[in-house]
Amino acid sequence: MVNKTDLHTHSTFSDGTLTPTELVVLAKKNGLCAIALTDHDTTAGHEEFLKECEKQGIEGVPGVEISTKFKRELHIVSLYAKGHEFEEFIEKLKNAREDRNIKMLERLREVGFDINVSDIVDEKNVTVQSAGRPHMANALVRKGYVKDITEAFEKFLGKGKKCYVKRFSLTPEESIRIIKQSGGIAILAHPCYAVQCEEELAGLATKLKNAGLDAMECLYSRYDDTQTEMCLRVAESVGLLKSGGSDFHGMNKPDVKLGVVNGGYVPYEFLETLKGLLNK
Ligand code: AMP
Ligand code: ZN
Ligand code: FE
Ligand code: FE
């Protein structure tokens, strides 16, 4: 019985390199029975994604990954949220991304790089509203200004670095509130990027649980056993459900394989339990 799933993936509608169709075809090939598409700040890929899921006989989960206001990277994955308030929120995030992208390109040019909007968009799905820092990193590599994506982030694009520009975001609590009011499931994505120790994670998880958070991404591609065990312990003690995902980005994260997380795969039971929260 196949019961593998992946609840955190990206397509060309944000900073992944596979189209939603290609993503679902690969999911089928890798033996997944369900997959969530969780592009950054956009639901634009859902239509194509759900259509291909139906064609391939895979359960498709419409999701979004939202960056929130926090001292480190704190991302919330939303599954199933929909409706007017949610779409308005997403629209605001998209506009803020566009402003941010234009400002960051200006800063990169100030450093002396020849880089424009045309270098970070493509003819398919990447627009100035959906492009992300990985597209800027790729352009810098392509033009020979840095040797790889890591160097681009370390020197110029990472939080607090020379060409980094903050964009509008809501606090984690406010983002969770909108997801819950929109009938969605709210999951703390890759929690180890947001905290530095177990005590801090327990504090954050408790605070966000009180704000309505449903689950935590305990299984993740880039975790080691210690991080996975810490997340499982904290989720259990705080009373959050478990989620898991690879955060697949295609060739923008070449080491990450679709459907593969530390320790194996994400069992379908995780999704089944999460879906139990719907209609409650
Ligand atoms: P954005 O949403 O446009 O601000 O870009 C965020 C994306 O940049 C995320 O998907 C991360 O995977 C990627 N990213 C952030 N920091 C790094 C880094 N140090 N190296 C490589 N990718 C990164
Ligand atoms: Zn991304
Ligand atoms: Fe993320
Ligand atoms: Fe992600």
Residue nearest to atom 21 of ligand 1 (CA): 150
Q: How far is the CA of 153 from the centre of ligand 1 (A)?
A: 8
Residue nearest to atom 11 of ligand 1 (CA): 134
With contact defined as beta carbons under 8 Å apart, do 191 and 205 qualify? yes
Q: Strands 32-40 and 59-67, how do they pair?
A: parallel
- Ligand showing the shortest atom-to-Cα distance for residue 15: 2
Instruction: Give per-10-residue mean pLDDT for the chain (280 aa).
Output: 90 95 98 98 96 98 97 95 97 96 98 96 87 95 96 95 95 98 98 96 98 98 98 98 98 94 97 92
d(C-alpha 43, C-alpha 116), whole Å = 26
Phi first, then psi, for residue 40 (nearest 5°) are -70, 125
Instruction: Dig out the tokens for 50 from the structure.
Output: 């759900």
The residues facing 12 across adjacent strands are: none
Residue nearest to atom 20 of ligand 1 (CA): 150
- Ligand showing the shortest atom-to-Cα distance for residue 156: 1
Instruction: Dig out the tokens for 203 from the structure.
Output: 């504090």
**Amino acid 83: pLDDT:** 96
